[in-house]
A = this chain, B = another copy of it.
Amino acid sequence: MQSATTPNEQARAEDLDLLDRYWRAANYLSVGQIYLLANPLLKAPLKPEHIKPRLLGHWGTTPGLNFIYAHLNRAIRASDLNIIYICGPGHGGPGIVANTYLEGTYTEIYPEVTRDADGLLKLFRQFSFPGGIPSHVAPETPGSIHEGGELGYALVHAYGAVFDNPDLIAVCVVGDGEAETGPLAASWHSNKFLNPVQDGVVLPILHLNGYKIANPTVLGRMDDEEVRNLFTGYGYEPLFVEGDDPHAMHRLMADTLDTALAGIRSIQQAARQLTGGLMRPRWPMIVLRSPKGWTGPKEVDGLKVEGFWRAHQVPIANPRGNPEHLKLLEHWMSTYEPEKLFDSNGRLVPELQALAPAGDRRMGSNPHANGGLLKRELKLPDFRSHAVEVTAPGGAVAEATRELGKFLRKVVELNAEARNFRIMGPDETASNRLDAVFEATDRVWMEGIEPYDVHLAHQGRVMEVLSEHLCQGWLEGYLLTGRHGFFSCYEAFIHIVDSMFNQHAKWLKVSRALPWRRPIASLNYLLTSHVWRQDHNGFSHQDPGFVDLVTNKKADIVRVYFPPDANTLLWVADHCLRTYDRINVIVAGKQPAPQWLSMRDAITHCEAGIGIWKWAGTEAVNAEPDVVMACAGDVPTLETLAAVDLLRKALPKLKIRVVNVVDLMTLQPTEQHQHGLSDRDFDGLFTRDKPVIFAYHGYPYLIHRLTYSRTNHDGMHVRGFAEEGTTTTPFDMVVLNGLDRFHLAIEAIERVPGLDIAAAHVKQQFRDALIEHTRYVREHGEDMPQIRDWVWPTSAAGTTSREPGD
């Protein structure tokens, strides 16, 4: 059928014909990666020995991803757009690898994968092959900031990438499998936090190919009306592209993409010209319905494949062993007409090469997807200028996170112009007492703002949403595109993002081994509102186990800090904000607490990461102590010092050493962690054979696990969280878990051999004190005054002649 066409239409049709060939080239390379070990251009008849022995990879999602990629190339070239491609569908690896190869990026990064038949063969062979590349989009994939393994985080990464990147468009393909996950379902609301003036934009493409591994998808089986309602309700303007005829689909996709991009442009232009009255716009999104395994075999062994879940992975199972399958594969690959796509040397024909954008506009080369390239150093104030004055140990009271908040306010101010620092938190920045930052910025908010609202603004740099998933994901996207950030969270609820932490740690591990990936800023957690001060919230808010998960990861990726007071917290925060390619976990309290170290001493102590607090102990010079009282964490430190105070008064001859641990990794053997102490240094602190009463913030097993190979590990007696305690008083929480001063002192007495009858008497006094405590709190609902008001005696033995932190 022929119809009269205008020259414009004619040109467009020719463009789309070329685009279709480009798409076929990408599809061909995708199939080749899954199947072929040899004969990459099908110049000879396909034989079993050309087929890989283990067929891995996922075809189903790939043609759709290739389709989108090709169309984005067209749009980028047409309008010189700055686009990154976030590939949500897990195993779309072959597609993105194929496209970055076609556009030339792949060869620039991996020169051995040349743009000829030899390179094609390497490209095919390495895919899902030992020593090669994974089947999903990964750090190895050019142009990616998003690993395609665990599903749920594509959209939130995309939003993180475009905050403060006003010219950037993150096109985010959301598979209908991923769309069923919780984090993804919440991520759509990220548009309420995106400012059209200062931020770029995400163009989500919901790819409904209808099936997961072995099921239809929830969204895929919803009708257009329901899908339209859902996404209108999420605040988007959904545009539909639906069908299976490639030519009709090219036309529709090109038109729809033009409409969406024009819509974005006009929203941005309008918003950026406003002098007031900015409102949250209704951003466009695209709903693409195309068959799963599109252009693949329709049937295999008599069963439906294209447009069904059987196309999900490897649609033809056994071409190496089954001649029918081999023929089917050969036929399938030949439908792409490789001879029209590649010249006889295996090089993409020039008219197709011309379809890729140039230089950094190629999505595989966009520097935003290798954020370290764009990263500017964070400007940091002198943390010393925020010091809490501590003239003597215990001589001041402060809220550690409140002091940190003042430091962070300065960080916000110093980097306001660079617009490259954000603070994330699930509605807890003020509750975690970091609210000084609101003197420098506000919470970003694009919904309506009422006159009585407090610290809400379109330009805010603090991001608060009641979703740890969104906080974490936005921050990851922000860091991966070369910026800096800080995430504060309730300690117990950080477990919500355990799996996201895991995946980011894996990304960093793999990235660090790729020289072309430049270092990005570390992901910094502040875990506060911690287990020991959840007495008002109760058991459901108590879990210090995140660090157990963290310490499972590769040593060069993770750090865990337990600063015992405000000045040490300031040192640690400053340090973490200066590091790269790491995940730093800082655990610190927000409640008023005694301060132990002056800034000078805090620096000395933190630089070592661990040390003897001579001013707190009672040991003699040049002699071993009777017992080591060790502590990690602010509350354990407080209780340890109070225990020492009790013991000193009751048993003045007992020689006690106090060791405080800020950097938990110092406990590990030096072969296992760069920060680990040598055995000699460890023994120097903990002795080779004296009892160690270790008061630890979290689950005690972690300390055993970190120290099991140390000389004195038999002597390590660790107390920590024992899954006890609920709504009660702060001191009762530590008592219920046996981490309080009395239990610590009693254990010290019990572990030191050869103490006399006086010690037994003292022990009984401490036991009586515990009974008295329990009776008192049950009656009064608060702790006894002598507990609440306890302060470190500045006249204590040992404080005068030595400097703290010596």
Chain A residues within 8 Å of B, Cβ to Cβ: 37, 52-54, 56, 128-136, 138, 147-152, 177-178, 180-189, 192, 212-218, 221-222, 226-235, 304, 308, 427-431, 443, 445, 447-448, 450, 452-454, 456, 464-467, 469-470, 492-493, 495-496, 498-499, 502-503, 506, 509-510, 536-541, 543, 545, 548-549, 551-554, 699, 701-702, 704-705, 708, 713, 723, 726-729, 732, 777-778, 780-782
| Min CB gap A303→B, angstroms | 9
Contact call A538/B134, Cβ cutoff below 8 A: yes
Contact call B552/A701, Cβ cutoff below 8 A: yes
Determine which of B136, B148, B182 lies in contact with A467 in the assembled complex, contact meaning CB atoms within 8 Å.
B182
List 17 additional contacts besides A216-B445, A233-B234; criterion CB under 8 Å: A53-B781, A130-B729, A138-B539, A149-B541, A151-B466, A152-B182, A184-B186, A189-B218, A213-B427, A213-B428, A214-B454, A222-B447, A304-B452, A493-B499, A495-B498, A498-B549, A548-B552
- For A543, list chain B residues within 8 Å (CB): 502
- For A538, list chain B residues within 8 Å (CB): 134-136, 138, 149
Contact call A536/B233, Cβ cutoff below 8 A: no
Determine which of B226, B701, B778 lies in contact with A233 in the assembled complex, contact meaning CB atoms within 8 Å.
B226
- For A540, list chain B residues within 8 Å (CB): 134, 136, 138, 147-150, 503, 506
| Min CB gap A726→B, angstroms | 6
- For A431, list chain B residues within 8 Å (CB): 213-214
Considering only CB atoms, which chain B residue lies closest to A304 in the complex?
B452
| Min CB gap A378→B, angstroms | 26
Contacts A431-B214, A466-B212, A705-B705 known; A182 to B183 CB distance under 8 Å?
yes
Considering only CB atoms, which chain B residue lies closest to A549 in the complex?
B545
| Min CB gap A460→B, angstroms | 11
| CB pairs A–B below 8 angstroms (5 shown) | A132-B727, A134-B727, A177-B427, A182-B470, A232-B233
- For A448, list chain B residues within 8 Å (CB): 221
- For A454, list chain B residues within 8 Å (CB): 214
Considering only CB atoms, which chain B residue lies closest to A534 in the complex?
B149
Determine which of B233, B427, B536 lies in contact with A228 in the assembled complex, contact meaning CB atoms within 8 Å.
B233
Contact call B180/A189, Cβ cutoff below 8 A: yes
* Bound: A445/B216 CA distance, A: 9
| Min CB gap A762→B, angstroms | 26
Considering only CB atoms, which chain B residue lies closest to A509 in the complex?
B723
Contact call B150/A493, Cβ cutoff below 8 A: yes
Considering only CB atoms, which chain B residue lies closest to A736 in the complex?
B130
| Min CB gap A177→B, angstroms | 5
- For A132, list chain B residues within 8 Å (CB): 727
Contact call B727/A56, Cβ cutoff below 8 A: yes
* Bound: A452/B308 CA distance, A: 9
- For A235, list chain B residues within 8 Å (CB): 222, 226
| Min CB gap A145→B, angstroms | 14
Considering only CB atoms, which chain B residue lies closest to A234 in the complex?
B230
Contacts A539-B510, A708-B708 known; A218 to B465 CB distance under 8 Å?
yes
Considering only CB atoms, which chain B residue lies closest to A228 in the complex?
B233
Determine which of B149, B186, B228, B465 lies in contact with A537 in the assembled complex, contact meaning CB atoms within 8 Å.
B149
Contacts A54-B536, A130-B777, A235-B226 known; A186 to B192 CB distance under 8 Å?
no
- For A704, list chain B residues within 8 Å (CB): 704-705, 708
Contacts A233-B229, A503-B540 known; A496 to B138 CB distance under 8 Å?
no
- For A151, list chain B residues within 8 Å (CB): 466
- For A782, list chain B residues within 8 Å (CB): 53-54
* Bound: A168/B214 CA distance, A: 31
- For A221, list chain B residues within 8 Å (CB): 192, 447-448
Contacts A129-B727, A727-B128 known; A499 to B496 CB distance under 8 Å?
yes
Contact call A443/B215, Cβ cutoff below 8 A: yes
- For A548, list chain B residues within 8 Å (CB): 548-549, 552
Contact call A215/B182, Cβ cutoff below 8 A: no
Contacts A233-B231, A456-B215, A549-B545 known; A492 to B182 CB distance under 8 Å?
no
- For A443, list chain B residues within 8 Å (CB): 215
Q: Which of A447, A499, A702, A782 has the largest number of chain B CB atoms within 10 A?
A: A499
- For A215, list chain B residues within 8 Å (CB): 427, 443, 445, 456, 464
- For A536, list chain B residues within 8 Å (CB): 54, 56, 128, 135
* Bound: A187/B470 CA distance, A: 17
- For A493, list chain B residues within 8 Å (CB): 150, 499
| Min CB gap A54→B, angstroms | 6
| Min CB gap A112→B, angstroms | 14
| Min CB gap A658→B, angstroms | 24
| Min CB gap A692→B, angstroms | 13
Contact call B728/A131, Cβ cutoff below 8 A: yes
- For A498, list chain B residues within 8 Å (CB): 495-496, 498-499, 549
- For A185, list chain B residues within 8 Å (CB): 182, 185-186, 188-189
Contacts A229-B233, A506-B539 known; A186 to B182 CB distance under 8 Å?
yes
| Min CB gap A216→B, angstroms | 7
Contact call A778/B130, Cβ cutoff below 8 A: yes
Considering only CB atoms, which chain B residue lies closest to A310 in the complex?
B454
Determine which of B181, B192, B226 lies in contact with A469 in the assembled complex, contact meaning CB atoms within 8 Å.
B181
| Min CB gap A713→B, angstroms | 7
* Bound: A228/B233 CA distance, A: 7
* Bound: A245/B443 CA distance, A: 31
* Bound: A537/B229 CA distance, A: 36
| Min CB gap A423→B, angstroms | 14
Considering only CB atoms, which chain B residue lies closest to A553 in the complex?
B723
- For A308, list chain B residues within 8 Å (CB): 452
Determine which of B187, B217, B495, B777 lies in contact with A466 in the assembled complex, contact meaning CB atoms within 8 Å.
B217
| Min CB gap A646→B, angstroms | 22
Determine which of B54, B182, B465 lies in contact with A729 in the assembled complex, contact meaning CB atoms within 8 Å.
B54
Contacts A226-B233, A427-B212, A498-B495 known; A781 to B130 CB distance under 8 Å?
yes
Considering only CB atoms, which chain B residue lies closest to A175 in the complex?
B466
- For A503, list chain B residues within 8 Å (CB): 540
Considering only CB atoms, which chain B residue lies closest to A706 in the complex?
B701
- For A230, list chain B residues within 8 Å (CB): 229-230, 232-234
* Bound: A539/B138 CA distance, A: 10
